[in-house]
Structures are given as structure tokens and as C-alpha cells.
Chain A
Amino acid sequence: MLLEYFSMIDRVVTVTPEAITATSTVPESSPVFEGHFPGHPLVPGVLLIETMAQASGFLLLSRIDFSRMAFLASVKEAKLRSFVAPRAALTIEASLVHDGSGYAVTSARILAEGKRICDAELTFRIMDFPDPKLEQAMRARAVEIGMTPA
């Protein structure tokens, strides 16, 4: 996990058409922690939501063989239940709630040491890649985290 690069997922453990499980470890240090918060470093809640969104996004892209991009459109029922500190080992789970026309809805959560620390329902717009570089980057990133895009 590299917070400052929004690289939130370390490894995809399992992925099916309906669900994904990924893991990530919070780094010991990051420029993010210098401000959030001095003397009390915590992963910002918005980055936990981003982590759930990225896991959901990889799930959705895997369903369509990385032919289009998933853009986060809305976050509902987000609950940030516990603080997440440096070195925390996270398990991120996301499942498909609905596959619509040009959009999809997922339910996602993050666990640490078996305890649920946050969850949300996320809606994504599914759109053509606006630039070939983005498609290449997503495919390359998928390989890095253990996926095998078509």
C-alpha cells in the first residue's frame, strides 16, 4: 500500500465474477501520516473508502476483461468503525450487488485481524477508457497485484 500514490491494493487473493478478496499492509511511514495526524498516524477514512473502491473496481473490471473502466460515482452507508494505524494488515472484500446498464453497485468492507473496520455500498459508472494509457496502466497494475487480465 502506497498511500501517496493511491496504490491501495497489494494482492488479490481470490476473484470470481461475484466477489473479490484482496490484502494490503499499511506502510510504517508515509507523507500522509505527517498531517493525519501529527503524533497519532491514522489512515484517512477517505483512503479506506478508496481502498474498498479499488477492490470493487478490480472486481468489476475482471468481469468485463478490462475492456472498460469503473469510475466511483457514489458512496452510501459508509461506516468507519475503527482506526487503522501503520503496519496494519488489511483484508478487503467486495461483492457485486447489481450489474446495471453502464453502472454497477458493490458492497465492500475491510477487516483487520478478523474485525470489520469499515464498510460501504459503492456505485460505479462503467465507461469506455478515456485514454489508452489508462487501460494499459490498469492492466499492468492488475498483473502486479496477481490478476491475469485477458
Chain B
Amino acid sequence: MASAFERIADIIAENSEVKRDAITPDSHVINDLGIDSLDFLDIVFAIDKAFGIKVPVEAWTQEVNAGTAPPEKYFVMKNLATRVEELVAAKAA
């Protein structure tokens, strides 16, 4: 099966105007890929469905806004993929 990064990158390409080959592990979803909040909603919905999880975007955003977590922790592709893998593992546990 494709890695979480590859699956998320495919989802982003399918749900935004970002070209698949422009998405790298170091891409920042917002700053580099320019995904707006509405496209991001669609992307999160697609990730939730594809992985059978509920990506806690509100909690992540609150952490970033409060300064308790750097944006890169959640919104750089390789880290987003890691977070999704953690959510999948937590659900399976």
C-alpha cells in the first residue's frame, strides 16, 4: 500500500489546483502549496474518509495559535503524514 505521504499528496492533488508533482515531503500545505481554508476542508474530509480517522484540525489550530506547537508540526507534508499515521495507529490500538 502507498505511504501515508503518497496518499495524502494524491488527495491534495485531487481536491485542489496543486499539481501532484509539486507536493514534496517538505512542502508546507498552506505556505508552499497555497491551499485555502475551503480546499483544506475538502482535503481533511477526504483524509478522514480514506484513513477512517478524524483529523483533529481544530485542536491543532488552537495549539498553533496559542504558540504551544509550531505550524510545521502539523502542516508540513512529512509531519502531517506522520500525524495521520499516529492517528491511524491510535485508532487501531
Contacts and interface: CB of A to CB of B under 8 A. Distances in A.
A101 B41 contact: no
Interface stretch (B3-11, B23-31, B49-57): B49-57
Contacts of B38: 73-74
B14 interface: no
A103 B45 CA distance: 9
Contacts, number: 35
Using C-beta atoms within 8 Å of the partner chain, give the interface range for chain A.
10 to 19
Contacts of A115: none
B57 A101 contact: yes
Given A73-B38, A74-B38, A102 B57 contact: yes
Contacts of A123: 41-42, 45
Residue with the highest number of chain A CB atoms closer than 10 Å, among B38, B41, B48: B41
B42 A101 contact: no
A116 interface: no
Contacts of B21: none
| Chain A interface mostly | strand
A100 interface: yes
B59 interface: yes
A74 to B, nearest CB: 6
Contacts of A73: 38, 41
B84 interface: no
A105 B45 contact: yes
Interface of A: 73-74, 98-103, 105, 123, 125
26 contacts: A73-B38, A74-B38, A74-B41, A74-B42, A98-B45, A99-B54, A100-B41, A100-B44, A100-B45, A100-B55, A101-B44, A101-B54, A101-B55, A101-B56, A101-B57, A101-B58, A102-B58, A102-B61, A103-B41, A103-B44, A103-B45, A103-B57, A105-B45, A123-B42, A123-B45, A125-B41
